[in-house]
Structures are given as structure tokens and as C-alpha cells.
Amino acid sequence: MLKIAVNEINRLFDAIAAVENLYLPVEKGGEVEFGAYSADAKVRLDALQTVKSAKDMFFPFSENLMKFHVEGKQISVEAAEKVNEEFVVFGVRACDARSFSILDKVFLADPVDTYYAARREHGVVVSMACSRPEETCFCSAFGIDATKPEGDVVTWVADGVLYWEAQTEKGAALTEKVAEVLAESDSAAVEAQQAAVKAIMEKLPLAGLDLSYFTSRPELEIFKRPEWTELSSHCLGCGTCTFVCPTCQCYDVRDFDNGHGIERYRCWDSCMYRDFTMMAHGTNRKTQVERFRQRFMHKLVYNPKNRDGEFGCVGCGRCLKKCPVNMNIVKVAKTLSAGGEQA
Amino acid sequence: MSEIREELIPVLGVVTDIRKDTPDVKTFRVVTPEGQKAFKHMPGQCAMLSIPGVGEAMFSITSSPTNEEYMEFSIKKCGCLTDWLHQMEVGQMVTIRGPYGNGFPVETELKGKNLLFIAGGIGLAPLRSVINYCRHYRDQYGDIDIIYGSRSMDDLVDFKEIQEEWCTEDGINVHLTIDRPQEGWDGHVGFVPAYVNELNLSLDKTILICGPPIMIKFTLQNLQALGFERTQVYTTMELRMKCGIGKCGRCNIGSKYVCKDGPVFRFDQLDELPDEY
Ligand SMILES: Cc1cc2nc3c(=O)[nH]c(=O)nc-3n(C[C@H](O)[C@H](O)[C@H](O)COP(=O)(O)OP(=O)(O)OC[C@H]3O[C@@H](n4cnc5c(N)ncnc54)[C@H](O)[C@@H]3O)c2cc1C
Ligand code: SF4
Ligand code: SF4
Ligand code: FES
């Protein structure tokens, strides 16, 4: 294990930024989001969570896929350049770190999404263990260890020191590049923190969330539960829950004429929106009940059914904090698991 | 990474022939700029066609895979992209990617069977590919019955091919019907679901049905009343699509993506899924 004092951490960031593009949680306009490192960036490693998840780093909010040149009846296509430089995403929490492996199963499954694949290939994930989980956290329900997140490198902050340990070859390569600013260390402080945090995790209100109902019953039975109507009755269809979610993957494809040619973009979309499935003869999800049910059925039922039991949620709690009408996946799970007794 | 196919990046196609089938359906012939077929496909598979700046949408490849020269698409005018496609002239380039979807099981479950095709309107497009495939490998399939209905005589897609080729071939029975009587039409008049009841169909047939949801619903009810099982009936589904490769999250029926796991389903398979289509 290696270490550096937190009050000298800019030396580490400068060392990384000298060799790679570095992204980390920075405060802008009062909100913390992943952004590029610079000498005057307001780095906020203490923030437990960014507003949007770290998926933006690999599956960006909006990206150009290709460009067309159109002249009369002639068309030519030019694929957009893919990310070809290494970059480091620093400070990814355990929930977001797990979300990458969930997104991998979508975007790296045959046929591979080459834009996502290029970012995954060139991106190095430096995760950060949680020392102060919140009431809305329930990553443990998905077998995530918040005290030792996935990632190429995992870091811990304890007693004013940042501890660093490479977990993959990519992580080891990055470690070599910044070795001069890191010192050898034992792991006593990390182990003490891990034990303390585990004790807190067990007592979190949502720690014992039981999702077995969703993997043990037929999808049609869960789909037909009458509780969906009440659960969705206040949903505004604003899509906030899908945009902050680290595992939501749905996207739209749109063309824009920028004056010099037509560009085809991909951008995040939301199954909570009315026009998401609109066709020439209407939509198959006519009311918000159907759209709301789709989001949660996808995460709790369709995902595990298609992917060996893996849920499409990592328990980050963002949708619990951000939904304007206070609806979320935990309420859905509890209500349906309890057969409707619980609201 | 150069050998990995860029699935979202289309190739170019050139429209070499346009046929006006009905007042709102045209059939377009597409080849690559080099004059080749853009890719191989199986009956029932689809392709994404696009005009940059206008949009991209999924269409059944209506020509048979046994046609090695070109692909055909029968397209109904109903919105932004399809309006544009209907206005274009021969020589226009489009973009094309595919093939997408599972297609009909012509090499497995349909082999050796007596086949009954039931189509309504533009629903003939995906079935035409299977029909012509089975005609090409005629000895590998049993009897072929085709029931095809549309609003009027003028709304029958591919009428010329039906009359000149399908109707004249041994072992193929074509049953055409139109909704209302019309001058110059001496064939059957009436809706497809009712026609199915009149035809004295033998129950050994495997059925492929495609058309408006309402036609499928009532035809299926009548078929079941006649004694057909849902395991004997295949259909192809239409949902909004953007990627065609199971990633944009748009076209699912329950746990299945129609673009990847479909668009062809057997009715007993659909029974296990939410009826959200
Ligand atoms: C597997 C499959 C096979 C198909 N095969 C065929 C075929 O062989 N032949 C054929 O003719 N068709 C086929 N279709 C249907 C074809 O894809 C549609 O007709 C086509 O997408 C219509 O595109 P458009 O741009 O013309 O219509 P659009 O301009 O997209 O409009 C269609 C309607 O959708 C709605 N809409 C679209 N976008 C939005 C938005 N952003 N916001 C709100 N509303 C919106 C509008 O209500 C509009 O009226 C197939 C579809 C699928 C899924
Ligand atoms: S569904 Fe909610 S809690 Fe689960 S990963 Fe998405 S935002 Fe986080
Ligand atoms: S954030 Fe809440 S109100 Fe908005 S779409 Fe999601 S569940 Fe509905
Ligand atoms: S069209 Fe994108 S998932 Fe099917």
C-alpha cells in the first residue's frame, strides 16, 4: 500500500495530470460533478456523491457519432474520432465503480459499442472507499463493498492521509507513473477504517433491503401487480431519476445540421418520457403508469432475468434524493415485496 | 480494433428502382454504390435506413435472401423520414445498416411444414421475403397458402408479383380479399378474420401473420376457435427503435428486445411477456 498526506494531495493530482487527462469531483456553481482537473479547480473529495453519476465519463450525456456530407443525391459518412488518449477518473465511489461493470454488459456485449469501448479501454478508474455512507445508501444490497470498491486503483482517506492500492494492471501502470509522490505505508489505518465503516453500513436504514421477490417470481406476475398504479400516481415523468442514475443506459439518436454538415449525436434519453416509444400509430406505453413500471421492471426484473441475477441498480441513492415527488426504487421494491401492505 | 464492426455507422446505398405499389406504399430497390447487395440477411430480418438530417428508421427487408442482386423495402408514408423517402428519385443515396433481428425460423421450425401466410396491408412486406424464399427452396416446404387482405384493390402491395407469379404456381393457393366491393374486383370481399373462417383450413398448418394489431387480434381469435394452437402461429412485432442492437433500451417487450430477440415471435412466447405492444 502507498500513501500521501491529504494536505499535499495536489502533488498527486499534478503528477497524474502531467501524464494523463485527469477528471475528478469538482464544485461548480454549488454542485459537485466530475470535471477536468486544473490548478484552480475546487476539488471536493469529501463529497460523498456527485449529482450525476460517473457514467458520464464513459457514456457521455451527449456525443457525436458521425458526420455526413450531403451534396445533391450524394452522401458520405465519416465516423467521429474516438477517444484515443489515456484518462484518469479519480474519486469514483463504490456504487459508481460497480455501475461500469453493469454498463459493460450492455455496451461491450456483441455487437460492441465502439465509442464506449474506446473510453473504457483508455480510462483508468481510481475509486475511493466510503468513510461516511449516508442514510440513502444501500449498495450492500447488491453485494458491493463500499470499503473496498472496484476500480483499477482503490484509495482510502483516513486521518488526513490518502492510501493508494493498485488492483489491476492498468492501475499498476498508473501507479508507476506517479510513484515519486507516493510513499510506502502499512495498511493499519485502512483496516481500522474498513471495520468502523462496515459497522455503520450494517446499521443503515436500507441495509437489509430484500430484493429476492424480484428474482423469484415470473415477470408477468410482477408486471401485473395492481400497486403500480398507486406507486406511479405522483410521478411527473420528469426523467430526473434516469438522468442521475449510474446504470440507466437508454439513449436517443438525433441528427443536427451545424451549418457545415450534418452530425449524428447520441444523447441520454429517458423511458419516463411520453415520446420515448412514440410510433406513427401511437405509443405502446400510453400513461405514466406504464412508463414508470418500465423503469423499475427493467432494473429489478428484466436485468436480473437477462444477466444472471444482476440488478440494474447499485444502491447509490441518487433517485431517493432527487425525485421531486419522493418516489424511488426502494419504495417500489418494498411495496411490491410486501404484497402491497407497505406504502 | 479495426476489425470490429462499427455497428451504428451505416454504409451507403443507392436507390436504383422505385415502384409505386399503392397510394401510400412505395417499394425501393437498394444496392451499394458498387452495385452490390449491402449485406446478407434472412427472411424477416430488418435494416435501418436513413437520410442524414431527416432520420433513421427500421424497415423489413421485403426481398428474399435468395435475391443476390439487391434488397427491396416496401415503405408506407407516415411521417418525417417516410415522407422524404417517398419524394426521392432514382439515384438518391441513403444510408443502410443491418441486418437486424432474428427472422423467421425458415431453416428450422418451418422446414417441411405446410405454411399459411396471413397478411394485412403493408404487413405483407416481411412475409413476402419468406414467401419468395420458400418458393425458391420449394421442395423443402409443404403446401403454401396465402391470405392477403387490404382496404381496396389499389392498396394491395406487390399486386403484380402476386398475380403473375404466386397465383400461377402449383402448390401455392392465394386468397385475396378487400374490405368493400369495388368495380373491377371479382375476388373475395370482407375482412381477413372472417375470411379465415370461410376457407376450411386444415389444422396441420404453421401460420405466419403480419398486419395491423387489430387484424392480428381477431384473426388469432378465430384461428384458435378453429382449433389452431398458439404454438403454431408466428408474427413480427413493431416497436419504436433507435439502435437496432439491444442497447438504446427502447424496443423491449418485458425482458425481450424486439430488435435483437425479435421481431419474430411465436404467440406462446409472447404469452410469457407483458402485453405492452
Ligand atoms: C422491426 C420493424 C420493421 C418495420 N418494417 C416496416 C416496413 O417494412 N415498412 C414500413 O413502411 N414500415 C416499417 N416499420 C415502421 C417504420 O419504422 C416507421 O414507419 C417509421 O419509423 C416511421 O418513420 P418516420 O420518420 O416517417 O415517422 P416519424 O416522423 O418518426 O413519425 C412517426 C410518428 O411518431 C411520432 N414521433 C416520432 N418522433 C417523435 C418525437 N421525437 N416526439 C414525439 N413524437 C414523435 C409522431 O407521432 C409521428 O406521427 C417497421 C418498424 C419496425 C420496428
Ligand atoms: S435506481 Fe436509484 S439508487 Fe439505483 S443506481 Fe439508479 S439512481 Fe442509484
Ligand atoms: S424523478 Fe420521480 S417524478 Fe421524476 S420521473 Fe423519476 S420517479 Fe417520476
Ligand atoms: S432498438 Fe435499441 S434496444 Fe432495440
Query: What are the boundaries of each domain within chain B?
Result: 11-100, 114-236
For the segment A334-339, the average pLDDT, to the nearest whole number, is 88
Mutation to test the B interface, candidates A268, A277, A288, A310, most B Cβ within 10 Å = A277
pLDDT for res B4: 64
For the segment A124-134, the average pLDDT, to the nearest whole number, is 93
State the Cα–Cα distance between residues A310 and B245, nearest whole angstrom. 21
Query: Quick check: A250 and B248 CB within 8 A?
Result: yes
pLDDT for res A341: 43
Of B94, B52, B101, the C-alpha closest to B73 is B94
pLDDT for res A194: 95
**Residue A134's Cα: distance from chain center in Å?**
17
Is the Cβ–Cβ distance between B276 and B253 less than 8 Å? yes
For the segment A211-219, the average pLDDT, to the nearest whole number, is 93
Peptide bond into B99 cis (omega under 30): yes
Residues B223, B225, B231, B236: is their CA dihedral positive or negative? positive
Residue B48 scores a pLDDT above 80: yes
Residue A14 scores a pLDDT above 80: yes
**Among chain B residues, CA nearest to A258:** B53
- pLDDT exceeding 90 applies to what percent of chain A? 85
**A179 at the B interface (CB within 8 A)?**
no
Average pLDDT value over all residues in chain B: 94
Nearest-CB residue to A302 (from B1, B243, B252): B252
Identify the CATH class of B114-236.
alpha beta
Residues of A in contact with B250 (CB under 8 A): 250, 269, 276-277
A343 pLDDT band (50/70/90 cuts)?
very low
What angle in degrees, to the nearest 10, is found between the helix axes of A9-19 and A169-177?
A: 110
Helices (H), A20-155: 94-107, 114-122
Q: Which of residues 224-243 of A touch B (CB under 8 A)?
A: 224
Residue B2 scores a pLDDT above 70: no
pLDDT for res A342: 40
Nearest-CB residue to B78 (from A68, A107, A280): A280
Residue B257 scores a pLDDT above 90: yes
Is the Cβ–Cβ distance between A97 and A151 less than 8 Å? yes
Which residues, 6 or more positions from B204, have their beta carbon under 8 angstroms from its beta carbon? B114
**Residue A243's Cα: distance from chain center in Å?**
10
Name the closest-CA residue to atom 4, ligand 3.
Answer: A238
Is the Cβ–Cβ distance between B48 and B101 less than 8 Å? no
Number of other CB atoms surrounding residue B112 within 10 Å:
10
Compute CA distances A23 → A19, A125, A284, whole Å: 13, 10, 40
Beta bridge partners of A32: A27
Average pLDDT value over all residues in chain A: 93
Of A249, A336, A235, A343, the C-alpha closest to A290 is A235
Nearest-CB residue to B249 (from A250, A281, A305): A250
For the segment B247-274, the average pLDDT, to the nearest whole number, is 94
Cα angle value B186/B188/B191 (rounded, 5°): 145
pLDDT for res A208: 84
Is the Cβ–Cβ distance between B18 and B75 less than 8 Å? no
For the segment A200-209, the average pLDDT, to the nearest whole number, is 89
Of A131, A273, A264, the C-alpha closest to A197 is A131
pLDDT tens sequence across A137-154: 999 999 999 999 999 999
pLDDT tens sequence across A25-36: 999 988 999 999
Q: Where are the beta strands (DSSP E) in A232-293?
A: 251-257, 262-268, 278-279, 282-283
pLDDT for res B3: 55
- pLDDT exceeding 70 applies to what percent of chain A? 99
Which of these CATH numbers, 3.40.50.740, 3.40.50.1820, 2.40.30.10, 3.30.70.260, describes B11-100? 2.40.30.10
B1 pLDDT band (50/70/90 cuts)?
very low
Residue A39 scores a pLDDT above 80: yes
Is the Cβ–Cβ distance between A24 and A43 less than 8 Å? yes
For the segment A120-125, the average pLDDT, to the nearest whole number, is 96
Q: Where are the beta strands (DSSP E) in chain A?
A: 2-5, 21-28, 31-36, 62-71, 74-79, 87-92, 123-128, 153-158, 161-166, 183-184, 251-257, 262-268, 278-279, 282-283
* φ, ψ for residue B223, nearest 5 deg: -60, -45
Ligand 1 pocket, residue B264 CB under 6 Å: no
pLDDT tens sequence across B151-210: 999 999 988 899 888 999 888 999 999 999 999 999 999 999 999 999 999 999 999 999
Helices (H), A31-161: 94-107, 114-122
Compute CA distances B38 → A204, B14, B35, whole Å: 57, 10, 9
Of A151, A159, A153, the C-alpha closest to A192 is A159
A260 pLDDT band (50/70/90 cuts)?
confident
pLDDT tens sequence across A150-193: 999 999 999 999 999 999 999 999 999 999 999 999 999 999 99
Residue A306 scores a pLDDT above 80: yes
- pLDDT exceeding 70 applies to what percent of chain B? 99
State the Cα–Cα distance between residues A218 and A220, nearest whole angstrom. 5
Domain ranges of chain A: 2-203, 213-342
**A39 at the B interface (CB within 8 A)?**
no
Number of other CB atoms surrounding residue B41 within 10 Å:
22
State the Cα–Cα distance between residues B205 and A265, nearest whole angstrom. 47
CA of B219 to the centre of ligand 4 (A): 28
pLDDT for res A266: 96
